[in-house]
């Protein structure tokens, strides 16, 4: 009787050990899946952000410069896989993350290029040589806005709000400059020379022209660089 009781007890303990082992394996698998799902959610959230910015840029530019037709290609295979298995392996998750990351990178690069090209073109259309012709009280604000527009046109950290602010700010600066008179012809000619492909040397700029630039605060926009011979 005693031996049978001991034998039964051993079997009970062995059975309990198997149950605990199975439970522990299930818990480990749940933790693994949970960790992979969390990472995948972060990837999809980043993709959603890039898509929203790209849509905003396309809407602002008025043309489909950024292609959004294949944004779901990063997780189509993953979606098909999880429909057929209940606990996909790590490789399935990693492949989905890599593909989503590739789509995000493409969107980010295309969006930034489209935005920079369009925003720079809009800035170049502004009659910025009129800024010195504004009332003195308006000139600092106009210069700050011009500098902000330049910075926003080259930003690597784009957002929907930045795009909206740019559009509002460039419209405001355009309105300010609309009623200002044009700069004197000699100033416009000099600024054109300073913006050409062949930059003039200091010897080709007269003292009068330097004084003129200083009087109109254009000297804040001009830098000197020594060339070696």
- The predicted structure's pLDDT at residue 95: 83
Higher pLDDT, residue 197 or 200: 200
Q: Which residues contact 123 (CB under 8 A, 6 or more apart)?
A: 146, 149, 150, 153, 170
The CA distance from 51 to 66, in Å, is 9
Angle between helices 76-84 and 90-124 (to 10 degrees): 160
Mean pLDDT of 107-116: 92
- The predicted structure's pLDDT at residue 1: 43
Whether pLDDT at 200 is above 80: yes
Whether pLDDT at 100 is above 90: no
Percent of the chain with pLDDT over 90: 28
Q: What are phi and psi of 217, to 5 degrees?
A: 65, 20
Nearest alpha-carbon partner for 147 in 131, 158, 160: 131
Alpha-helix residue ranges (DSSP H) falling in 62-159? 76-84, 90-124, 139-154
Whether pLDDT at 86 is above 80: no
Mean pLDDT of 177-181: 90
- The predicted structure's pLDDT at residue 41: 82
| Domain boundaries, given as residue ranges, for the chain | 2-113, 126-180, 183-229
Pick from 79-93, 99-113, 202-216 the range whose average pLDDT is largest.
Answer: 99-113
Whether pLDDT at 64 is above 90: no
Q: pLDDT tens, 21-48?
A: 777 776 777 777 778 778 888 888 898 8
Higher pLDDT, residue 85 or 188: 188
């Amino acid at each position: 009787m005693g031996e049978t009781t001991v034998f039964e007890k051993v079997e009970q303990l062995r059975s309990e050990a198997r149950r605990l082992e199975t439970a522990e394996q299930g818990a480990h698998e749940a933790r693994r899946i949970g960790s992979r799902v969390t990472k995948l959610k972060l990837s999809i959230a980043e993709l959603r952000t890039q898509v929203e910015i790209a849509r905003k840029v396309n809407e602002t530019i008025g043309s489909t410069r950024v292609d959004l037709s294949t944004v779901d290609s990063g997780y189509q295979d993953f979606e098909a896989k999880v429909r057929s298995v209940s606990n996909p392996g790590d490789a399935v998750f990693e492949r989905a993350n890599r593909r989503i990351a590739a789509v995000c990178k493409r969107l980010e690069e295309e969006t930034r290029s489209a935005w920079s090209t369009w925003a720079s073109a809009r800035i170049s259309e502004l009659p910025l040589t009129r800024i010195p012709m504004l009332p003195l009280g308006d000139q600092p604000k106009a210069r700050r806005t011009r500098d902000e527009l330049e910075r926003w046109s080259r930003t690597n950290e784009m957002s929907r709000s930045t795009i909206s602010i740019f559009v509002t700010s460039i419209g405001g600066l355009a309105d300010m400059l609309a009623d200002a008179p044009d700069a004197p012809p000699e100033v416009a000619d000099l600024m054109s020379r300073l913006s050409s492909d062949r930059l003039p040397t200091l010897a080709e700029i007269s003292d009068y022209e330097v004084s003129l630039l200083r009087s109109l605060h254009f000297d804040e926009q001009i830098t000197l660089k020594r060339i070696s011979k």
